[in-house]
Structure 1
Amino acid sequence: MTEVSKGRVRANNIDFHYLEAGSGPLMLCLHGFPDNPHTYSALIPHLVDAGYHVVAPYMRGYAPTGVSPDGRYDAALLGLDASALIDELGGGHAAAVIGHDWGAFATYAVAAFAPEKIEKIVTIAIAHPGALLGELGLNYDVIKGGWHAYFFQMPGAEQAIAHNDFDFLLKWWRDASPEFEIPREVMEGVKETFRQEGTVEAAVNYYRHTFNPAGKDPALAELSEKIAAPTTLPCLAFHGTRDRPGRLETFENMDHLFTNKLEKVVIDRTGHFMHLEQPERVNNKIIQFLTS
């Protein structure tokens, strides 16, 4: 059995807590919403067996990682966080960055900001930001599928998430992966993360500061534009056929935003959490891509 330990490091002015296993080149695994680094529990042993030092942090604002000192949660900052973590934990080099949901957004961001630090990237359930951001404001199906990004702009969204012991989170997962029988312990772990002080507010502010022009930080405008630029690193990108409306179409039409090798994998009858729904297939494909 793979031994997974816990660690803590200061990076980009935040105290990051993380899960860690193995030795060798750094493999940074970034989770999304609403989730935590345990989402990679099935993948970590495969990465360790392949010879990697795996680090899966709690993302900015997700307890026990610290909240943003200036209250900012723009997607650009997530990329800067990933770059700083690579510096602190990998000596400035990562064999790959793997990201799901917001973690995928952060993966595309760090690939844009610091491609010299990374060999390859893997993204799960999120199309390239250059394709997704435009569609989120124009495409009816994408708007429908991304309803929560709009709902989270409203005052009181935090209370809605926390209501009835965070029942919102369970229903969000069921909506995003409608054929997935969510293990009780998985959902309880996610709820426990969101019960911690500051996590709900941080999670909502990811959406407010990235998608709402009124919430954007002008100082990050140039970096934000870079995220939407073509990706120059080799990329393995996953998507499910049962993810929310419009997402798969956007994913299928993003090829022009990659200047290096792009390998896309669409898994039938899986939703947003395909790495948990079909772990063997996803994990084997990731290892194949990383070692090829």
Structure 2
Amino acid sequence: MQRIRLGGLDVAYLTSGPDDGPLAVLLHGYPDTAHSWRHLAPVLAARGYRVVAPFLRGYAPTGLAPDGSYQTGALVADAVALRRALGDERPALLVGHDWGAVAAYGAAVHAPDLWSRVVTLAVPPMEFAAVAARNRDVGLLARQARASWYMLFQQLPVVSEASIPRLVPRLWADWSPGYDASEDVPRVLAALDSPARRTAALRYYRAWAQRWRQLPRYRREERAVFGIPRHPLLYLYGTEDGCLRPESSALAAELMPPERVVAVPGAGHFLQLEAPERVAAAITAFLDEER
């Protein structure tokens, strides 16, 4: 575990691989931690990458946001600041899952020169919702709305904070059916071990829905999350994802080259843990492609 100061934010991160290797920045989502990359990180390290997997703002041992903001624009700013603070001039590999995927889209669009390739998991480019609307796929929109019930619940103050110890195991079970999360759930609960940290994790969702919570200082970064990186982009999703419907993820093929949209059979939302060998194989094949 190492630490770095990004302005007023103290960021903790896991790292592996050679110190002089090109950077690979891995961003986790909710309800999760940097330990979610424990299978992929050694694969990238073996290929010579200096792997850095931070705990996102609010998740212990990273500090709480000094400006109180947990909007996606702030996550983008953190990813960009981290990449610059690590001091390597070469473009870095950027990998993100769930909220980390949203941050990855934004960081790649906002500061394109910092990155070489982008890999995202479980959340496609944000324009997928517009594609569903244009296709008038009312059934898909309804199914996705039902699967996203937790987003509405987490707008409720106090009640949703109190539910975290029960909600986190339920979400892992619902989102990745059949996966044994006994190693992961305790790590999430340890990262959200205080009322302030639980509120921080829930404010990711509250800032998304309650636009008045967004700070003007992150306006450009916030807009960037709705773009599509110009870099080579690989998107992976599980066919049994109980969070973001696989039919929703499949719409990514209308936004990017279809061969770069990879369905992982039998995996759910946390596919990097459920099917680590298949995920690593897809990513390494992508890295071996010529530009």
Q: TM-score, normalised by structure 2?
A: 0.89
Query: What residue number does 1:236 align with?
Result: 234
Letter of the aligned partner of 1:168 in structure 2? L
- The answer (yes or no) to whether the contact 1:28–1:97 under 8 Å persists in 2 is yes
- Cα distance per residue 1:89-124 (max 9 Å; x no partner): 143544311111111111111011011110001111
Residues 1:38 and 2:40 are matched in the alignment: no
Q: Specify whether residues 246 and 195 from structure 1 end up closer, same or farther in structure 2 by C-alpha distance, changes over 3 A only.
A: closer
Letter of the aligned partner of 1:65 in structure 2? T
Q: Percent identity?
A: 34
- The answer (yes or no) to whether the contact 2:175–2:243 under 8 Å persists in 1 is no
Describe the SS at the equivalent of 1:48: helix
- Which deviates further from its counterpart, 193-202 or 39-48? 193-202
Q: Specify whether residues 159 and 230 from structure 1 end up closer, same or farther in structure 2 by C-alpha distance, changes over 3 A only.
A: closer
Query: What residue number does 1:15 align with?
Result: 10
CA distance in structure 2 between the aligned counterparts of 1:91 and 1:251, rounded to whole angstroms? 33
Superposed displacement of residue 134, structure 1: 8.0
Letter of the aligned partner of 1:124 in structure 2? L
Letter of the aligned partner of 2:24 in structure 1? M
Query: What residue number does 2:54 align with?
Result: 57
CA distance in structure 1 between the aligned counterparts of 2:85 and 2:23, rounded to whole angstroms? 11
The structure 2 residue matched to 1:225, chosen from 223, 235, 241, is 223
- The size of the alignment, in residue pairs, is 281
Superposed displacement of residue 141, structure 1: 1.6
Superposed displacement of residue 133, structure 1: 7.5
CA distance in structure 2 between the aligned counterparts of 1:169 and 1:206, rounded to whole angstroms? 15
CA distance in structure 1 between the aligned counterparts of 2:131 and 2:226, rounded to whole angstroms? 10
- Cα distance per residue 1:43-63 (max 9 Å; x no partner): 111111000000000001111
Residues 1:150 and 2:152 are matched in the alignment: yes
Uncovered stretches (5+) of structure 2, i.e. residues with no partner: none
- The answer (yes or no) to whether the contact 2:267–2:274 under 8 Å persists in 1 is yes
CA distance in structure 2 between the aligned counterparts of 1:119 and 1:33, rounded to whole angstroms? 25
Query: What residue number does 2:265 align with?
Result: 268
The structure 2 residue matched to 1:160, chosen from 159, 162, 174, is 162
Letter of the aligned partner of 1:276 in structure 2? L
- The answer (yes or no) to whether the contact 1:12–1:80 under 8 Å persists in 2 is no
Describe the SS at the equivalent of 1:205: helix
- The answer (yes or no) to whether the contact 1:233–1:261 under 8 Å persists in 2 is no
Letter of the aligned partner of 2:59 in structure 1? Y
Superposed displacement of residue 70, structure 1: 1.5
CA distance in structure 1 between the aligned counterparts of 2:255 and 2:200, rounded to whole angstroms? 29
Spell out the pairing of 1:174-213 with structure 2 (5 A cutoff): 174-182=173-181, 184-196=182-194, 198-213=196-211
Q: TM-score, normalised by structure 1?
A: 0.89
Q: Specify whether residues 236 and 187 from structure 1 end up closer, same or farther in structure 2 by C-alpha distance, changes over 3 A only.
A: same
CA distance in structure 2 between the aligned counterparts of 1:134 and 1:256, rounded to whole angstroms? 8
Superposed displacement of residue 26, structure 1: 0.5
Query: What residue number does 1:141 align with?
Result: 143
CA distance in structure 2 between the aligned counterparts of 1:34 and 1:246, rounded to whole angstroms? 14
CA distance in structure 2 between the aligned counterparts of 1:159 and 1:221, rounded to whole angstroms? 27
- Cα distance per residue 1:60-100 (max 9 Å; x no partner): 11111111111111101111111111101143544311111
Superposed displacement of residue 262, structure 1: 6.2
- The answer (yes or no) to whether the contact 2:39–2:276 under 8 Å persists in 1 is yes
Letter of the aligned partner of 2:211 in structure 1? P
RMSD over equivalenced CA pairs, Å? 2.2
Spell out the pairing of 1:125-136 with structure 2 (5 A cutoff): 125-132=122-129
Q: Specify whether residues 146 and 135 from structure 1 end up closer, same or farther in structure 2 by C-alpha distance, changes over 3 A only.
A: farther
CA distance in structure 1 between the aligned counterparts of 2:122 and 2:273, rounded to whole angstroms? 12
Uncovered stretches (5+) of structure 1, i.e. residues with no partner: 1-5
